[in-house]
Structure 1
Amino acid sequence: MDDNVDHYLFLGLPSGEEGSKLSEKEITKAYRLKALELHPDKRPDDPNAPANFQKLQTSYHVLKDEKARKLFDDLLRAKRHKLQRDSQQDSKRRRMMSDLEERERSFFTNNSSAKARSEEDIIARKLKEEINRIRAMHANKMAYNTPNVSPLKKESVDGGKSGTGGGVSAAEKETMLKVSWETSGVDYTAQRLRELFETIGSVKDVVIRSSKKKRSALIVMATKEAAVAATGTVLGDYSNPLLVIPLQPAGPTDFRTAREPVKPDPQLSADLVGTRYQAFEDSVLQKLQKAAERQK
């Protein structure tokens, strides 16, 4: 794919000189539309869906990276010039009037073709190096699209038992958020959740888990600060709001006594509705009771 694919056309964009003038905003818009079409969630019966979606992400990151995009534009330009030269040379050959002229033109044609091939090979090799660099840089972001790659798929969405478990450290858990919503009303895909939480900060991974009555997801933010900011900020659709809580709470250091009543955060209370807030409050009370038992 790296040598022959036209990354502009793969995203549904015009190629050539017109493509080289496209803004980053236009490229991102085209990528998001194409991602909705090729996302594995939209093609559950297509075994090639994860691979095709990964190719789409590669094309997007090539065009989004300034250095890689310039190399790719240079490669397309070199190919166009080579085709033009070949076309002109073919036309000239048809007008040749003597064997001498034929030999002379053949000599210059061979040199020109060799030079064109050499230029194309150099640019193609540099572009391939940039693509490998971009793939390595974005490997973690694309892992959730490939089966049995993301370590989060081995983690329970509900956070599991106490302790790090599953190879995830306590510090990593501080960047994780548990998100839940009802099955009725507007539903949320992994792509939609990623878009909502990326308004706060960079999202490293999204893993969705569903049941008959409720759906939930594990969101991994890039930093602990982004996870804290997203809690109580990302609400989702009004018809089916999201319940966002940290996967790993702050711990018992904020509890003065086991019998002291817990006052819910007013901002958090505004974000949790109906039975969801009651469930959250019950969870906090259970943690207080456990903390009190440990202090005895």
Structure 2
Amino acid sequence: MASKKFSDINLYELLGIDIDAEQNEIRKAYRKRALDCHPDKNPDNPQAAERFHELSKALEILTDESARSAYDKILKAKKAAELRNRQRDSKRQKLKEELEERERSAYHKLERSQPYSTVTKSDEELLQEQIDRLRKEGSQLLEEEQRAMREQLKRSHDEKLKLQQQRTQFDSAQHRIKIKWKAGPDQDYTEEQLLKYLKKYGDVVALVMNKKGRGRAMVELASREACDMVLAYEKGDAAKPLSFEWLTPPASEVKPNGSVCGSSSSRDYEDLVMRKMRQAEERKRIIEQMMKDEESAK
């Protein structure tokens, strides 16, 4: 990054904003892009750290009125020059170069003939002065944005840690699940049939059929993930659907209105649930194939 000049970078394109963007748009664009390449999230990626530095410097320059004015002057001059160069043919380009050479020669003669203090500074020098000033003063806005970003990353980490602790501390005996179905002459379930559905999601610690009335049972599953998947996805036989409900839900599952959640809203947790579902389906497919192979071998 040290080899790059910020006057050579289009800071507006870097942030994905228009040249006339307001401060709130600049800050919003910075948050979105800088969060993705934050060094804490990409500790082994030096390119991410470099991009984060570029984005931070873009925020500093474009949210400071003087620095932005100096930068815009260079950017507009470069765009105008690019446009002029595209419009000139080779002959006019040669004439331009000759003219510029004469102007440079005349400028140097003028520079030598005048006191140093009267020489006009270039746009590049003016921009560098503004960048140096920002570095010395420190950008309060940049500090605020980066502090908010660190807090957001910490909250995300704490939430993941809390979720992991909840899963680790899950006590299956304290959080059993009630099973209900509409029992009829040809619509009842046996213990073996229920186990066939439940074992897809993980180990079954215990399954108790209600001996006093048909259509009722209670299951204790070994893991919280298995409980969440059963609650969210299992329906049983379409002809005699099953319904599942916590007997004693975990504290985090109870909403203010008293209803019970079926699964965590965390994106990482949803990914875990879906992965477990795919694994369960794959186990089911393998078992069915083994049974078919065994029958055909008889």
User: Structure 2 length as normaliser, TM-score?
Assistant: 0.39
Q: Larger Rg: 1 or 2?
A: 2
Please identify which structure carries the higher helix content.
2
Using the size of structure 1 for normalisation, the TM-score is 0.39
